[in-house]
Structure 1
Amino acid sequence: MVNLATSVDHIKPLFAGGSAYDWNNLQSLCDYHHALKSQQERAQKNKPHG
């Protein structure tokens, strides 16, 4: 099954220093994979450093 890409995603998240408007830091994803990637990034962002 193929899902259409409907979201624009930052390859390197903004909180990790990714550029908001650099075309090389943008990719298109379907809603499912964008949500999955965002969930993983939130978990990484909230992970205690140590």
Structure 2
Amino acid sequence: MNNTISVGTLESFLIAISVLFLGHIINSKLPVLRKYNIPEPIVGG
């Protein structure tokens, strides 16, 4: 029952960019994350 999902380079690049932008949006809405200097990729991921 092992199902493997294969992701190519373009898809992984688009996912990484989406996570970065999502983290930027969340960091701009929540000042406590900026106060403690939490990076955007961590918040988005």
Same fold (TM over 0.5): no
Higher relative contact order (CA 8 A, sep 6+): 2
Give TM-score, length-normalised by structure 2: 0.44
Give TM-score, length-normalised by structure 1: 0.40
More helix by share: 2
